[in-house]
C-alpha cells in the first residue's frame, strides 16, 4: 500500500510545505519520516480502503508540518519526537501494566504502544507536546506552566483535555474510524 501511494504523498507534502520549512528539510525527508514512524510505531491494523489510508497519512503529515513549523518559530522548544511513548507512562488513559512473564501480554502491550504512538501523531501537536512534557519528561504542572507561560492549573486542565483527546483518538483508531481525518482531502481515485 505504501508504494502505491508514495507519489501522491510526496505531492501532498510538497503542496502543504511552505518555502520556510523547505529551508530546513526536503519534502522527501518528511515523507520518509512519516512512513518510517507509521511502520515502526503504528498499530497492527490496516485501513479499510485507500481513502482511509490517505486520510490517516495526511493527518499525520499535517501535524508533522505544524510541529516542525512551531519548532522553526520557537527554537527553545525541545521535542523528543524520535522516542516512542511507552504506554505504561500514560496509564491515565487505561493502558494496563504488562507482565513480562506472558508473551501474549507483551504482544498486546506492543499493539497498545502502536496505537498510542500513532494517536500522538494525529492529535494537535501542542497537545502531544504537553503529554510528552508530563509523561515522558515527568515535569510537574508548575514546570510545564513556566515552559508554556501559563498558570499551573491551566497546564493541568490542558493536560487533562489532551489526554482525553488522545484516548478518544486511540479509541477511533481501534474502531477503524478514520473518515473524519483530513476532511478536506479528496477521495482516492
**pLDDT tens per residue across span 105-142:** 666 777 787 788 888 888 898 999 999 899 888 889 99
Cα(170)–Cα(159) distance, rounded to whole angstroms? 16
Q: Is the pTM of this model over 0.75?
A: no
Which residue's C-alpha cell is 480502503?
Answer: 49
73-92 per-position pLDDT tens digit: 664 344 444 444 554 444 44
Q: Is 187 a member of any domain?
A: no
pLDDT value of residue 146: 93
Distance CA 12, CA 143 (A): 38
Check residue 39 and report its DSSP letter: H
Please report where in the chains the cell 511513548 appears, as a residue. Answer: 85
Residue with cell 493527518: 59
Whole-number mean pLDDT of the chain? 76
Question: Is residue 40 situated within a structural domain?
Answer: yes
Rounded Cα distance between 95 and 65, Å, is 28
Residue 19 maps to a domain:
yes
48 is written with which cell numbers? Answer: 479499510
- Domain extent for 93: 2-175
CA 86, CA 91: separation in Å to the nearest integer?
10
Assign residue 23 the CATH number of its domain: 1.20.140
C-alpha 78, offset from chain centre: 16
In a domain, 186, yes or no: no
Q: Give domain status of residue 182, yes or no.
A: no
Structure confidence at residue 185 as a pLDDT band (50, 70, 90): low
| Overall domain count for the chain | 1
Question: Comparing C-alpha atoms, which of 31, 23, 28 is closest to residue 69?
Answer: 23
Residue 7's pLDDT band, with cuts at 50, 70 and 90, is confident
65 occurs within a structural domain: yes
Going from the C-alpha of 126 to that of each of 55, 88, 97, the distances in angstroms are: 20, 21, 27
Residue 181 lies inside a defined structural domain of this protein: no
Secondary structure of the chain: what % helix, strand, coil (to 5)? 70, 0, 30
Q: Residue 184: what pLDDT?
A: 65
- What is d(CA 185, CA 59) in angstroms, rounded to the nearest whole number? 10
Q: End-to-end alpha-carbon separation of the chain, Å?
A: 14
Biggest distance spanned by C-alpha atoms of the chain: 51
Q: Is residue 117 part of a domain?
A: yes
pLDDT range class, residue 69, cuts 50, 70, 90: confident
Polymer length in residues for the chain: 189
* Angle between helix 152-175 and helix 141-148 axes, rounded to 10 deg: 100
Amino acid at each position: 500500500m505504501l508504494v502505491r501511494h508514495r507519489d501522491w504523498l510526496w505531492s501532498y507534502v510538497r503542496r502543504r510545505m511552505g518555502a520556510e520549512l523547505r529551508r530546513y528539510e526536503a519534502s522527501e525527508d518528511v515523507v520518509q519520516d512519516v512512513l518510517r514512524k507509521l511502520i515502526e510505531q503504528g498499530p497492527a491494523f490496516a485501513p479499510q480502503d485507500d481513502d482511509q489510508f490517505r486520510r490517516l497519512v495526511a493527518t499525520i503529515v499535517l501535524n508533522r508540518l505544524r510541529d516542525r513549523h512551531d519548532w522553526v518559530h520557537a527554537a527553545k522548544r525541545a521535542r523528543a519526537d524520535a522516542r516512542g511513548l511507552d504506554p505504561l507512562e500514560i496509564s491515565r488513559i487505561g493502558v494496563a501494566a504488562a507482565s513480562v512473564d506472558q508473551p501474549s501480554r507483551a504482544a498486546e502491550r506492543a499493539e497498545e504502544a502502536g496505537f498510542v504512538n500513532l494517536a500522538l501523531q494525529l492529535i494537535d501537536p501542542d497537545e502531544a507536546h504537553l503529554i510528552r512534557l508530563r509523561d515522558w519528561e515527568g515535569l510537574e504542572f508548575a514546570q510545564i506552566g513556566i515552559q508554556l507561560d501559563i498558570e499551573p492549573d491551566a497546564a493541568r486542565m490542558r493536560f487533562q483535555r489532551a489526554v482525553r483527546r488522545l484516548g478518544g483518538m486511540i479509541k477511533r483508531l481501534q474502531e477503524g474510524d478514520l473518515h473524519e481525518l483530513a476532511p478536506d482531502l479528496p477521495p482516492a481515485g
